[in-house]
Structure 1
Amino acid sequence: MVVAAVLASGLLLAGPALRRRYPVAWWLLCGFPVVAFRVVHTWRPLMAGCGLAVSRRPALTVVSGLVGKGAPPPQPRVPRRGLIRPTAGGFVLLVRLLPGQVPEHFVKAAPAMAENWQVHAVRVTSWKPGIVRIVASAADPLTDPRIPKQRGPGHLLRVTVGALETGAAWVVDLRRIPHWLIVGATRSGKSTLINALVAGLAPQAVALVGIDCKGGMELSLYEPRLSALATNREQAVRLLAALVDLTLDRMTLCRVARVRNIWGLADKERPVPVVVIVDEIAELFLVASRSEKDEAHAAGTALIRLAQLGAALGVFLVVAGQRVGSDLGPGVTALRAQLGGRVCHRVADPGTAEMALGDLNPDALKAAQAIAPEQAGTAVLASGDGWERARSHLITEAEAEAVAAEYAHLTPVLSELHVEAL
């Protein structure tokens, strides 16, 4: 008891400093035991208060038993809780549903759980039939995200760009989700995310291709590391057509080798992966004359073909814009359907958020619309696997230029994509 008292006193005295310098250690030593006790102690009354408990007997049987025998009422059945497992900034537990319950019942009770357990947020997801997964965050990890520095090139086409609300790293893996749509208003963090993505890809053996129809104001920072850069729609149409031809050539290569994608080729025969970054997609689709309409149609058709064919042939799309809506033309909606990964920052109009997230998850759409102007860098990312809140790592313009200069020697020479040559 004396030793325990000394340890407890030491933790109380060193707690504030430990929490600032070593938040994970503080949480595991001090925060998690307290919260875990709170969860265990309040589980039954919390489930009953949220309407998630079920009486063991019909109501009339209970009443007759009370009147006839004076016996105490039986305790209601509550969902069975699994082991509470700590994470770097919260905890996870699995809960088995009672007959008649569905995951949506627990989703509605998530705010009450967070309030009762005195944690920042609780997220409830379906884990497997009959079981839900409850993930709690003790504090908001997006306020001051701690992102480990990436050493070396890492895994091919896999980049850590920020932190998730759960405290885990936000990883963009183009091999798993090959095409992405990124939307966000001015100063929402969209450009910062693109900078983080390109900075992570720069040390890798990939070709980076930029399409920035605002005169190259955004992507020109990375020009030394780009294999091609189009700065207006005329150049973009030619570059996209060349990318389609490159994709068809790779298709022929795979067919001759009798493989289904370039990853089935031998290392010496495999062509370099190409990541195409399109900044401000609206500049490609907005039209003011007949000639511009033809250019916009050609650009949209080429992008859709790249999205349909590119994943297996080593061509990946990252499409970004401040405003993306069906009013830009049917090509935008068709392209959106091919972009499996979605990232939505704070947007200026609800239609853009609807375009980005509405077809994937209604809850993700609500979370994106709740992002405040002061939460720059915060976004909602969604795919077929679900959705998360996240915040990208800040890459300044000076850092972007430094990355481009440092890895300029790794830029693959793809002569068929040079805008001047086209």
Structure 2
Amino acid sequence: MTLASTPSAGATWPSWVLLVATVLVSGLLIAGPALRRHYPMAWWLLLGFPVVVFRVTYTWRALMAGCGLAVSRRPALTVVSGLVGNGAPPPQPRVPRRGLIRPTAGGFWLLVRLLPGQVPEDFVKSAPAMAEDWQVHAVRVTSWKPGLVRIAASMADPLASPRVPKQRGPGYLLRVAVGTLETGAAWVMDLRRIPHWLIVGATRSGKSTLINALVAGLAPQPVALVGIDCKGGMELSLYEPRLSALATNRGQAVKLLAELVDLTLDRMTVCRTARVRNIWGLPEKERPVPVVVIVDEIAELFLIASRNEKDEAHAAGTALIRLAQLGAALGVFLVVAGQRVGSDLGPGVTALRAQLGGRVCHRVADPGTAEMALGDLNPDALKAAQAITPEQAGTAVLASGDGWERARSHLTTEADAEAIAAEYAHLTPVLPALLDSEK
């Protein structure tokens, strides 16, 4: 009698694994739309990212060859002679070696090692082809270190509808989340790290929205806000309950800036007496309140029509430059904004620009303003700023010595800004040295 053979455990476990995997994948596919709608991050890690990894891995060799980034392993004549003599297929070309594909909140990134003779610009030119082949929104290539480039891809445009949670409470001192970066991360303006900023943009480009977001984030913090708005205060008067001082014409601005320079010199004396290099080295109880000076429409300070106005413009420019040179260590920070900023406004503008390490360029009406904002930092950032269309209101290119990125500020309406200024009016520091400048 023949006994029926019993399947061993070793023969059945692959079937069980396959069955479980099939059930899990089927469940994810069925629940995919709801998962993507309610838990987008979970959907991306469980479904979207694995599909992208497969797509990139499967197309890598053909994509590199199609973009001209593959190199033949043997000289062309050797290959041809080998084909004719032996009828052998041509050797596979050598392609750049890539590292692990790593997920981000809204995409992925990987490192690629360059082949001999290649430069990062070769991959930058191929970025649109990569985006098309991998079916992603955009691909950006940056130099990582010699011999390596970083390829970052975004599955969707995070700037289309930036979602930045409203700041609750004071948060970190002089640090405000004002929008979203093109990577999907929060756009944070940290005045402790980059103390002075230049913000440019044409009418309805998003410049005022960015200033609203910045003031809304600074209002709950223990800082003094000072405004200079030479267009009669039409923009910054919204925040007047939270401002320690506000200048609404050039005469007032010159006096206010002179008082601010005196304030920094007084703080310098305090630091020298205490033998510290900046106010952050002072004991917390003795540390003076940080002052953030917001200058709206810088051109109004520099435009001149008479001899008296020329003297005022020169005095204002000199004071701003001194504040930019001395302020970071002494707790005085500048945020300078304008629709048009160019060298035609005078040499003082160019000298001031050199002291403003952070730059934000929205859509501008003339190329000179974009050149003034970004041209000395990064030519690629300048090209990206000039490509912003009128339909992309709020979108900007921000640059500093660390590099550049595209970003979009969080929508903070005038009503929101006015309400926030009123809510935190009780936190407005009184600076006696600045009171006389408003008269």
Q: TM-score range by the shorter chain?
A: over 0.9
Q: Is 1:205 aligned to residue 214 of structure 2?
A: no
The residue type equivalent to 2:204 in the other structure is R
Of 319, 326, 334, which residue of structure 1 is paired with 2:336?
Answer: 319
| Matching residue of 1:214 | 231
Q: Distance in 2 between matches of 1:42 and 1:420?
A: 66
Q: CA deviation at 1:62?
A: 2.0
Q: 1:11-410, aligned counterparts within 5 Å?
A: 11-410=28-427
Contact 1:221 1:400 in 2 (8 A): yes
Q: What value does the CA root-mean-square deviation take over the aligned residues?
A: 1.4
Q: Distance in 2 between matches of 1:150 and 1:17?
A: 29
TM-score by length of 2: 0.93
Q: Distance in 1 between matches of 2:58 and 2:34?
A: 29
The residue type equivalent to 2:392 in the other structure is Q
* 3-state SS, counterpart of residue 175 of structure 1: coil
Deviations 1:238-268 (A, max 9, x none): 0000111111111111122222111122212
Q: CA deviation at 1:421?
A: 6.3
* Percent of matched pairs sharing the same residue: 89
Q: Distance in 2 between matches of 1:45 and 1:4?
A: 30
Q: CA deviation at 1:224?
A: 1.1
Q: CA deviation at 1:210?
A: 0.5
Q: CA deviation at 1:180?
A: 0.5
Q: CA deviation at 1:3?
A: 3.4
Q: CA deviation at 1:63?
A: 2.2
Q: CA deviation at 1:347?
A: 1.0
Q: Distance in 1 between matches of 2:229 and 2:436?
A: 13
Equivalenced residue count is 422
Contact 1:142 1:163 in 2 (8 A): yes
Deviations 1:17-60 (A, max 9, x none): 33233322222222111111110111111111111111112222
Q: Distance in 2 between matches of 1:281 and 1:19?
A: 45
Q: CA deviation at 1:115?
A: 0.7
Q: Distance in 2 between matches of 1:361 and 1:20?
A: 38
Q: CA deviation at 1:203?
A: 1.1
Q: Distance in 2 between matches of 1:278 and 1:367?
A: 25
Unaligned 5+ segments in structure 1 are: none
Deviations 1:153-201 (A, max 9, x none): 1111111000000100000011111110001111111000001001111
Q: CA deviation at 1:420?
A: 4.8
Contact 2:256 2:438 in 1 (8 A): no
Contact 1:224 1:408 in 2 (8 A): yes
Which has the larger displacement, 249-258 or 145-154?
145-154
Q: CA deviation at 1:287?
A: 0.9
Instruction: Tell which structure's C-alpha radius of gyration is larger.
Output: 2
The residue type equivalent to 2:50 in the other structure is P
Q: Distance in 1 between matches of 2:276 and 2:75?
A: 63
Q: Distance in 1 between matches of 2:160 and 2:21?
A: 34
Q: Distance in 2 between matches of 1:264 and 1:251?
A: 12
The residue type equivalent to 2:98 in the other structure is R
Which has the larger displacement, 26-35 or 337-346?
26-35
Q: CA deviation at 1:329?
A: 1.0
Contact 1:206 1:274 in 2 (8 A): yes
Q: CA deviation at 1:70?
A: 2.6
The residue type equivalent to 1:10 in the other structure is G
Contact 1:202 1:225 in 2 (8 A): yes
Q: CA deviation at 1:392?
A: 0.3
Q: Is 1:7 aligned to residue 55 of structure 2?
A: no
Q: Distance in 2 between matches of 1:361 and 1:310?
A: 25
* 3-state SS, counterpart of residue 151 of structure 1: coil
* 3-state SS, counterpart of residue 284 of structure 2: coil
User: Would the alpha carbon gap of residues 315 and 80 (structure 1) be closer, same or farther in structure 2, given more than 3 Å must change?
Assistant: same
Which has the larger displacement, 230-239 or 26-35?
26-35
Q: Distance in 2 between matches of 1:249 and 1:190?
A: 33
Q: Distance in 2 between matches of 1:41 and 1:62?
A: 26
Q: Distance in 2 between matches of 1:211 and 1:239?
A: 8
The residue type equivalent to 2:306 in the other structure is S
Contact 2:245 2:438 in 1 (8 A): no
The residue type equivalent to 2:337 in the other structure is A
Contact 2:246 2:438 in 1 (8 A): no
Contact 1:229 1:419 in 2 (8 A): no
Q: Distance in 2 between matches of 1:23 and 1:231?
A: 47
Q: Distance in 1 between matches of 2:320 and 2:357?
A: 14
Unaligned 5+ segments in structure 2 are: 1-17
